[in-house]
Structure 1
Amino acid sequence: MFGWLIRLIVSLLDMLRETLAPVSGESAGKFLDWLSWRISGTHKIQRISSSYKGLDKMRRIEECLVNSNHQELQNFRNYTNVSELSAAIINAKEIVPSKDPEFIARIDTTFHPMCEINKLTKEATTLKRTAYDTDNEEHEMMLLSLWNSLKPDRELEDRISDDWGDIGFQGMDPATDFRGMGILGLQNLHYLAKYKKTGAQLLLASNHPNYGFSLAITSINLTAVLMQMLESGLLRNHFYYKCCHGGSRCLTIKDLHEAYCSILSDFVKFYQDRKPATIMEFNSHKAAYTELLKEKLLSNSPVLEAVE
C-alpha cells in the first residue's frame, strides 16, 4: 500500500546524496545510503540497476563498488565471470534473490560489460608484459609482415638493417624498441599497418619536412598512453559505451587495436596541427594530448572515432 511512498522517499534520498556528495564527504553519503537501505530494503546497487541505463548506469555501479566497505567488491576489476561477480555482490550485500527477482533477472545485462572489459584488460596486460622474442617465429613473422604492409614495394635488405629507420624505429633491430610495451606494441602497429588505410597515411605524414616524427616510436608511445588509459579505468568508458549503446556484446583484442588506431591517428593530427618547432617538443605535446584524451573519456561522449 505504501510502496509508492517508500520509493519516493528513497528516490529523494538518492537525489539528496548526489547533491550533497561533493561537499558533505563520504561519511554523509554512506549514512544516506544506509538510511535508504533501511527504508526500502534495497541496496544502492540494486536501485542503480533498475533506475539507470547505458554508460550512466555502468559509471554509477563502478563508483558504488569502489566505495564499498567490502574488499572483494572494491576489487571488482579482478572478476571476468558474471556469475562470480554477481555472487560476490549478492553475498556481500546479503541480497535475498526472492525479494528482488527483477535485479536477479538483470544480472547478466548489468555485469556482462564489466566482466568483458576486465577480461580485455587482463589480456592486454599480459601482452604488454610479454617480451619480444627473436627466437619466436610468430613474433618474427609479424615483424616482417609489418614491413611488407608499410613498404609493399620495397624488399627488406636484411632482418638487422638500417632500413627499419624508414618506418620509424630507432636502431637496426626493432626488437629492442618493443621493450616497454612488449608484444602489444608490435601487435598494435601491425594491425594498423595491415588493416587500416590510415597506416600508409601516417607513414607519409611522418615524413613531413617540418613536422615529421618517427612512426614506430610514436606508435609505441601511444600504445603506452592507451594502456595508461585502460589501466587507470578511463578507457572503460569508451568500451562501456560500445557495449551498452548498440555495439558488440563481447570485446576482443581487436577492439583494443581499434582504440589504439583512433588514438594514434588523433594524436598525429593534434601534433602536426600544433606545428612543433623541433622533434624535441614531442613529449610536451604528447602530455598535452593525453590530458585532452582524459577529458574526452570522462565526458558523456567517450567513444573514440573509428579510422579506416
Structure 2
Amino acid sequence: MSTGDLCDEVAHLKTACDAVILAHYYVSPEVQQIADYVGDSFALAKLAATLSCHTLVFAGVRFMAESAKLLSPEKTVLMPDQTADCPMAHMVKQETVAAARAQYGEDLAVVCYVNSTAEVKSWSDVCVTSSNAVKIVRALPQHTILFIPDRHLGSYVAEQVPEKNIILNDGCCPIHHNISADEVRSLMAEYPDAPVLAHPECGPEVMALASFAGSTSQIIEKAAASQAHDYIILTVEGVRGELERQTAGSGKRFHFPSTRPLCPDMSRITTEKVAACLREGTGEIGLPPAYIAKAARCTLTRMLELGR
C-alpha cells in the first residue's frame, strides 16, 4: 500500500472508530505525520485525560499507553506494538522502596519518573516528568526524596533542589546513558558556537557539557526560540522531525552524536502497525489489578495537580 493510501485509510479508520492518535516525539516522522497530537510524556498524559473520543491510539512505548488508560479508564486504549517497552520502566525493586520507607518514615516521599510501569507507580507518592520534576520535588513537604527509577534525572533534580536529601535508584535510560561525552566534545569542536541542549536522562559527564538541560519539549522550544544557526542535540534522534518542522525556513541545523541515539522500542511503531491496530482493534491495553490501578492513578493525578 502506498504512503498516501495508508494515510487515507488511517484517516477513515479514525473517523469510524472515534479515535485519536497520540504520538511521542521519539517515534518516526512518518508516524508523527499521521498523529493528531505529538508531544512529550507530560503533554500527552495531560491531553489523554481531556479528550472526549472513544479510542486512544498511543504511538509510543507501553508505560505511556498504561498511563493513558489509568487516567481515562473508560476509553479504549490501543498500542500499535505491545512489545514496545521502556527498559528503565522496570529498573527498580519494591524492596528498595520498602527499605527507604522503613528508614525515613513520614519524612520520605517516593517520587516516580513517569517512565515506569503501573506497578512501580503504585509504590510511589507522586509521578513526575523531566519537565516538571524540579518543580514538584521542590514543592513536596518531605525533606527526603527517593527518586525512582532514573538515577540521572534524579541527580539533575538533586543539583537543582539542594535543600532536599535525594536518594538515587540505580536505573537509567540506556539510550541517553550511552551518549558519549567524547562524541559531544567532537561536535563542540566542530560547531563551537552551537548551544548544547541535553535531556537530563543523560549521564553526568555529558550533562556537564550542556548549555541547557530540559525535557524533549523544552529542548524543542529552546531551539525554536534561540538565534543560533547550529545546535547540538543530546536526546533520542526522533526529535529531529519536530525540531525541523518548528524551525522550517530558518536555516537552523541540528547535530546529534555520531553514534545515533535511537530508541529501538520507539522504532517498533510504524504507520502500518497504527493502521492495523485501528483496523483490527488489536493491541488493547487493559487496567492492572484494582489495587495497583487505584494507587498508580493517584500518583498521576497528583502530578497533574502539582505540575500545573
Q: Tell me which of the two structures has the higher relative contact order, counting C-alpha pairs closer than 8 angstroms and 6 or more residues apart.
A: 2
Relative to its length, the structure with more helix (as a share) is 1
TM-score using structure 1 length: 0.25
Relative to its length, the structure with more strand (as a share) is 2
- Answer with 1 or 2: which has the greater Rg: 1
